[in-house]
Structures are given as structure tokens and as C-alpha cells.
Amino acid sequence: MFRISQYLREIAQAEKTGVYPSPIGRHVSGQGAAESALPGGRGLAAQGAGAVGIQKPGPVVIWNLIRRCNLTCKHCYALSADHEYEGELSREEVFTVMDDLKAYRVPVLILSGGEPLLRPDIFEIAQRSRDMGFYTGLSTNGTLIDEPMADRVAAMGFNYVGISLDGLRETHDKFRRLEGAFDRSLAAVHLLHERGVKVGLRFTMTAMNAHDLPALLDLMRTEQVDKFYFSHLNYAGRGNIHRGKDAQFQATRDALDMLIERAWDAAQRGLDEEYVTGNNDADGPYLLNWVEARFPQWAPMLRERLVAWGGNSSGVNVANIDNLGHVHPDTMWWHHKLGDVRERPFSAIWSDTSEPLMAGLKAKPRAVKGRCAVCKHFDICGGNTRVRAQQLTGDAWAEDPGCYFTDEEIGATAGSDATRLTMEPVSGKRRVVAIHLEENTHV
């Protein structure tokens, strides 16, 4: 996750006081579901790694507790549907895993699905998570949150609830394949907001819904939503099948410009609005470019801050456990299983760098190739999202084809190893590559 608002608040403060602020409010970086203001995370991990007597925290865990969903969204990475799935972790198994996660110093659990509210024991799991001191988030489509459910969610004391909204009414209902889904999700936002629950909107942009972004940002402000999470489309599940419709680079840049301007406006006015992005760590250098153009005096300090953030953290500071107990580097890697919590504790799986992908993701720096290898922003971006490279080329260490920078912007010179991969629409095809296909039960 990339926290635009956090960095722009620092710039706003520097503009006001003439002094660039010290690092504050350490936050988790990673992907979408960890969309909350957190008391720990990568900053804490970075501190802990070098500090005597302080143990490094475990990763933020995004936990898909159930695959069943009442919707069948076009970009769903879990390819969920409204029926039971065999072999999901029982409540007792979930509790056993939670004990291990706690001992491994995991700070945050994001309870997700499918639709997590369809799991009959979701509130028991959430209660235990709260009691154990995990920062507990809920990631939901919101359509099941009526007044009684809003009361339960509020009473549970979730630290954060993220609700997906992929456009205005017509667009969203089409995306979600359910008439009335928009009204129900927006009603959920109202109901939770009335009850004092911290709520965020989650928007995954494609060419099919990019036109609704300005209106959604307006909606965020009028509804006084705490956070706007902008997710770049990644290549997993239905997102993979639909990647031929991925927004073009210019549309992505336009969207980022809009988000940055909104976040800057909020930072200057002291508004309590949070703008974050996910699934494209090139957003870090993109923000740096924006600041360099407007406030060049603060750019070196921001650059330092962004290098400390370090870009993509899949397999390092963000982890995923699926409904069957399989562990993945993040939610977009469901076709690659690192291990099974029924066979080995999560802590053992996560620490095991004999697994090649895990070793590569944990390498510092990652051994990326192509444009990423020659990029001047690599120390900020970290080579971006490896699953996109793997899905397009079969090589998880190839350049990220989702990078929207030009060769000139990344400092690639003629004759360097910077030839951009071409993206081909694959709608209608099953997959481009077949790595670990025998394990791929979700695509």
C-alpha cells in the first residue's frame, strides 16, 4: 500500500513550518486489504530489524476466511461464487492459526473473503482477534450490512471496515453483477458511519470504470468517508481474465494526478481524509516526481522517506492465508502455494526461504530484470508487483508490465536492457503461462 496522504501531510507541514517533519505514524505497507491507519507495520519492522532487544513484527495477514460470496464481481481474484466450498478451515483451526500468528508477532488481521459476513462464525473469530490484541479489519462488499448487521459490526469494534465501490450506480452494479448492489453498499457506508465505525471505500480501476473516479471522490467527501483506497488492477482471478481491459497507462497517470491533487487539497485544509493506493509501487516515484515539480526543496527528504518505505512488500510484510489454509505471498498469488497451515505453522512457512519464490521476494534487493533492473527508481519501488511479471512472462523476476513510466522517466538509455514487454489481451484464453498449474485450483 502506498500512503499518498501521509507523505503530502508531511510536505504541507514542511511548507507551513519550514522544517521537514521527523518520521511519524509508522504504517504498514502492502496491498489493499491492509487499508487502515496502523500502529505498527513496515516502519516498525524496519526499526525492529536493527534495534537491540526489539523483535521484528510479523507481516500483516490478509485472511480469506471464506470463498463463498453473494456476488461474482468481474475482477474478483478469488473467483468466488454463491455456494459452499469444501475443505475450508474450521473455527478451531482458525483459532490454532491465530495463536501461531500472535506468537509470530503478526500485528494485523484483515478478515476477508469471498464475503466474510457469510461465514457463520465470523463474529466469534473477530472477537477472538480483538481479544488477542490484533488490529482487526473487515473487508466486505457491504451488501449484507443492514441495520442489525451494522449494529453487530459496530459492537464488535473492528478497527476498520473497507467496502468496495467500483463506480457509480450503473457501473458498480454491472461490475458486481447485481442490480441494487451500489445502493446497498452505500447504505452500509451510511449505517456504519452513523455508528462511528471507521470506513473506507475501495476502488479497483479498469478502463470500464475509470470515468467514474471523479464522482466517486466527490462522493467520498460528501459522505465523509475516512479513506479512499485506489487499487490498480492486478493479474489474478477474474482480474487476470480481464486484464486486456486494464486501464491504459495514461488513464492510470490521470487517475493518480487526480488522487494526488485531492490528497494535497485535503492536507492543506487539514481535512481528515486518507488517500492510499495499492498494487502498483511505481506510485512512490510518481509522487516524488509531483513533489519535485512543485516543491523541489522537499524532494530529497521525501525521497529518503520513500526509500525507507521500499516499495513492494509481498512475501515480506504482507501475507495471505486462503480459505483452505494455504499460505501465499499476497492475495494475488493464489496460484502459488507456499505451504498449508494444516501441515506446518504459518510462522514456519513464512520463515522458510528454501522455497524459491519466497527466497526471491525476501532477497534485498530483489533480483529483478528488464526495465526494473536499470530503473533509477528501483530503490523506491522495489521492482513493483511480481505477480504481474509472472503472469505475463512466466518469469516472476521480469519487469513489471504494469509500470506506467516511460524509458526516459526511469533513466533507461538506448541500448540498455529496457525494452518494454508488450501486453496482450487474454480475454477468452485461460492463461498465458502455466507456472505451478497443478496447484492452481482457483483459476
Size of residue set near ligand SF4 by CB under 6 A? 15
How far apart, in whole angstroms, are the C-alpha atoms of residue 20 and residue 259? 22
Please state the closest distance from residue 30 (CB atom) to ligand SF4, in A: 16
Beta bridge partners of 63: 111, 321
How far apart, in whole angstroms, are the C-alpha atoms of residue 321 and residue 201? 23
Instruction: Name the strands in the sheet holding 135-140, side by side, starting at the edge strand that comes first in the sequence.
Output: 2-3, 274-278, 227-232, 199-205, 160-164, 135-140, 108-112, 60-64, 318-321, 326-328, 339-340
Among 15-23, 89-97, 217-225, 400-408, which window interacts with ligand SF4 (CB under 6 A)? 400-408
The answer to whether 386 contacts ligand SF4 (rule: CB under 6 A) is no
Among 198-206, 357-365, 396-404, 428-436, which window interacts with ligand SF4 (CB under 6 A)? 396-404
Evaluate whether 326 touches 399 at the Cβ level (below 8 Å): no
Nearer to ligand SF4, 114 or 383 (CB): 383
Evaluate whether 242 touches 205 at the Cβ level (below 8 Å): no
Among 24-32, 171-179, 352-360, 379-387, which window interacts with ligand SF4 (CB under 6 A)? 379-387
User: What is the pattern of x (binds ligand SF4, CB under 6 A) and - over residues 269-308?
Assistant: -------------x--x-----------------------
| Phi and psi at residue 158, to the nearest 5° | -55, 140
Select the residue interacting with ligand SF4 from 142, 383, 396, 397 (CB under 6 A).
383
The answer to whether 381 contacts ligand SF4 (rule: CB under 6 A) is yes
State which of positions 336-375 bind ligand SF4 (CB under 6 A). 371-372, 375
Pairing of strands 108-112, 60-64: parallel
Cell representation of residue 41 = 507495520
Evaluate whether 63 touches 321 at the Cβ level (below 8 Å): yes
The answer to whether 11 contacts ligand SF4 (rule: CB under 6 A) is no
| Phi and psi at residue 286, to the nearest 5° | -65, -40
Select the residue interacting with ligand SF4 from 42, 119, 326, 377 (CB under 6 A).
377
The answer to whether 44 contacts ligand SF4 (rule: CB under 6 A) is no
Nearer to ligand SF4, 208 or 372 (CB): 372
The answer to whether 161 contacts ligand SF4 (rule: CB under 6 A) is no
Select the residue interacting with ligand SF4 from 77, 160, 298, 405 (CB under 6 A).
405
Evaluate whether 112 touches 164 at the Cβ level (below 8 Å): no
Interaction site with ligand SF4 (CB under 6 A): 282, 285, 371-372, 375, 377-378, 381, 383-384, 399-400, 403, 405, 410
